[in-house]
Chain A
Amino acid sequence: MSPDVVPRSEWLPFYRSRKLGSTWLLVSRTGSWNILSEDEFQSLNRVFVPRPLLLRLAELGLVIYGDNGGAILQHWKRYNEGFFGGPYLHIIHLTQRCNLGCSYCHSSAIPLDAKNRDLSTRTAEQIADFIATTPSDRISVNFQGGEPTLMTHQIDVIMTRLRAACQANNKRLSSSITTNGTLLSAHVLEVLKKHDIAVTISIDGPQSIHDAIRQYRDGAGSYDDAIAGRQRLRDAGIRVGGSILVLTRQSAPRVREIIDEYVALGQRSLHLKAVTRLGASLPVWGELGLSFEEFWDAYTDGVEYMLSLQKQGVIVSEMMMLLALQKVIEGRDTTYVDMRNPCGLVYGVLNYDINGKIYACHEGKRKTEFLLGDVFSGDCAQLCMSDKAQAVAGSSVLDTHVECQSCTYLAFCGACPAHSFQMTGQREIKPLADFHCRLTLSLYDLVYKRLQSDPAPILAWWRHAILSQHLAS
């Protein structure tokens, strides 16, 4: 036998392949990758494989050959580092009440005069104490509602208790709030500033789009007040975070206008997201909901437009594509809970309702299938190891699906059982038909095609993210 070839008995494939134009993309289960020519790929399918090619793929961990098996396992451990360190993102619902009645509100918010729909001080204290028991060395709290700025006292209670607990146990603490921005009084600003809470204001685009979706209970639009609130935050020196831009059937064709609106507001990072089939959107899903194809058309149009703005010296990046790029370039997981396997259910995120009940994630709240327990009994570590928690989290493990086992992008993917449950009545996803699955396939194809054909603009996004992280934080 020639020394230039290796029989198949001496190595094992550790890659999945995908045709990309005239080339073949190989990605390992641990996220390393390589691009092969057609000839190279065909030679890999022979009984005797060229040794130089095999050595190259072994060096990258795409085949198990020689003595690289142990190193591959070490890389796997590093790739998953932090996955099971305990939940770090804690979403707290402070109230179900809201002064607005938005058409797609996933929280099914109710009017301000409703009774017994707020988090009590006692439960707020219990939630803070429960969160402090997470095994994770970092805690990130996100306040949601209804309209969470109605509940400044509870915010103060939770943050004060958590800060003391984190200092005592050497944990890092950060916090954010998602608000409609219309109730930002001097007192609210004072509380936000006191606890260094970053703010996300939901703005759906230009006034005509925003006001059609986000209305006061009397039908008046809220755009002017939201914009004024955003300015008050800036004037007060409070951090205004990235925005989730929810696209509906009405707004998707106007994605460029929406991006322009955010750029004018000084936003430099956007998440283009399809409206979710939850809460208030259910009865009007036929009017609001997007098929995958409709969403993807708007998404790619938006991404192309955002990249084109670089010619004018403007960088505004799309978050999902940036996350995908970071995974591909940096060879590590980003810990983003919606794009990992298993997803962030339980071991990345927990969701706390106004009555102290704990759900596996934000989208699963108030659904029995995602209910894990409450803050009045046990601690976070016990909850995470419960049978129910493991079953719920297990429903997002993709390796159990035949379709996923052969998928090139398995290393990068993430499923959303809550979304699946809403669409099909089952937590378990249906690969290839699932929205998230189709999005992952399309997104990573787009990233690799861009890296092959026109890499400079998306690499500018990557540089911008790294520089911002290290210089501006």
Chain B
Amino acid sequence: MPKSTLSLQEFITRAALDPKFLSTYVKDPSRLQERYEVSDDVIQRISGVEKLLEAVQAESPSELATIRRNLFNISANDTFGDNFTDRGFKDNFRDGGGFTDRHRDNG
């Protein structure tokens, strides 16, 4: 059966809608090539931003907070922007329900 093609834009859209899609392939990009017709450029780009990929597939608030620091170069001593720390995340939404059930469970 011929493989379907996957452009970079399509990859980004799929990953944005479904972080699990991202986590499935980031650890082993060759699996992406097994399943899809995908260019070496796309594979290279994905492989080169591991830190970012951790961010968007993060499942726990603390993971998000740590990676947000890396992404935006925020000092480790500065917690006030951390609406996603374990505590802040849980507290922010203690009555509002949390971002998702998964996140709420982790919080």
Residue of B nearest to A461 (CB): B16
Interface of A is mostly: helix
B3 at the interface (CB under 8 A from A): no
Residue of B nearest to A79 (CB): B81
CB distance from A267 to the nearest CB of B (A): 12
Chain A residues with CB below 8 A from B19, complex form: 463
Q: Is there an interface contact between B95 and A23, defined as CB atoms closer than 8 Å?
A: yes
How many chain A residues sit at the interface, stated as a range, is 35 or more
Cα distance A250–B88 in the bound complex, in angstroms: 45
Q: Is there an interface contact between A23 and B96, defined as CB atoms closer than 8 Å?
A: yes
Cα distance A36–B94 in the bound complex, in angstroms: 8
Residue of A nearest to B51 (CB): A470
Quick one: which of B11, B71, B83 contacts A328, CB cutoff 8 A? B83
Residue of A nearest to B56 (CB): A463
B residues 61-107 in Cβ contact with A at 8 Å: 68, 71-72, 74-75, 77-84, 87-88, 91-97, 99-100
Number of A-B contacts (CB under 8 A): 124
Cα distance A121–B88 in the bound complex, in angstroms: 56
Quick one: which of B12, B74, B84, B97 contacts A467, CB cutoff 8 A? B12
Chain A residues with CB below 8 A from B80, complex form: 28, 30, 32, 60-61, 71-72, 75, 331
Residue of A nearest to B46 (CB): A471
B32 at the interface (CB under 8 A from A): no
B residues 1-29 in Cβ contact with A at 8 Å: 8-9, 11-17, 19
Question: Could you mark each residue 237-263 of chain A with 1 if its beta carbon is under 8 Å from any beta carbon of chain B, else 0?
Answer: 000000000000000000000000000
Q: Is there an interface contact between B75 and A59, defined as CB atoms closer than 8 Å?
A: no
Q: Is there an interface contact between A463 and B96, defined as CB atoms closer than 8 Å?
A: no
Q: Is there an interface contact between B95 and A60, defined as CB atoms closer than 8 Å?
A: no
A433 at the interface (CB under 8 A from B): no
Chain A residues with CB below 8 A from B83, complex form: 32-34, 60, 328-329, 331
Cα distance A56–B92 in the bound complex, in angstroms: 10
Cα distance A450–B99 in the bound complex, in angstroms: 9
Quick one: which of A22, A61, A328, A464 contacts B13, CB cutoff 8 A? A464
Contact segment of A412-420, A421-429, A451-459: A451-459
Cα distance A343–B15 in the bound complex, in angstroms: 34
Cα distance A60–B88 in the bound complex, in angstroms: 7
Residue of A nearest to B65 (CB): A331
Q: Is there an interface contact between B9 and A75, defined as CB atoms closer than 8 Å?
A: no
Chain B residues with CB below 8 A from A329, complex form: 83-84
Q: Is there an interface contact between A32 and B81, defined as CB atoms closer than 8 Å?
A: yes
B55 at the interface (CB under 8 A from A): yes
A217 at the interface (CB under 8 A from B): no
Chain A residues with CB below 8 A from B14, complex form: 313
Cα distance A315–B14 in the bound complex, in angstroms: 9
Chain B residues with CB below 8 A from A310, complex form: 17
Q: Is there an interface contact between B78 and A75, defined as CB atoms closer than 8 Å?
A: yes
Cα distance A341–B25 in the bound complex, in angstroms: 41
Interface residues of A (CB under 8 A from B): 22-23, 28, 30-37, 56, 59-61, 71-72, 74-75, 78-79, 268, 310, 313-315, 328-332, 451-453, 455-456, 459-461, 463-464, 466-468, 470-472
Sample 6 A-B pairs with CB under 8 A, ordered by A number.
Answer: A30-B80, A32-B80, A313-B17, A455-B100, A460-B17, A467-B56
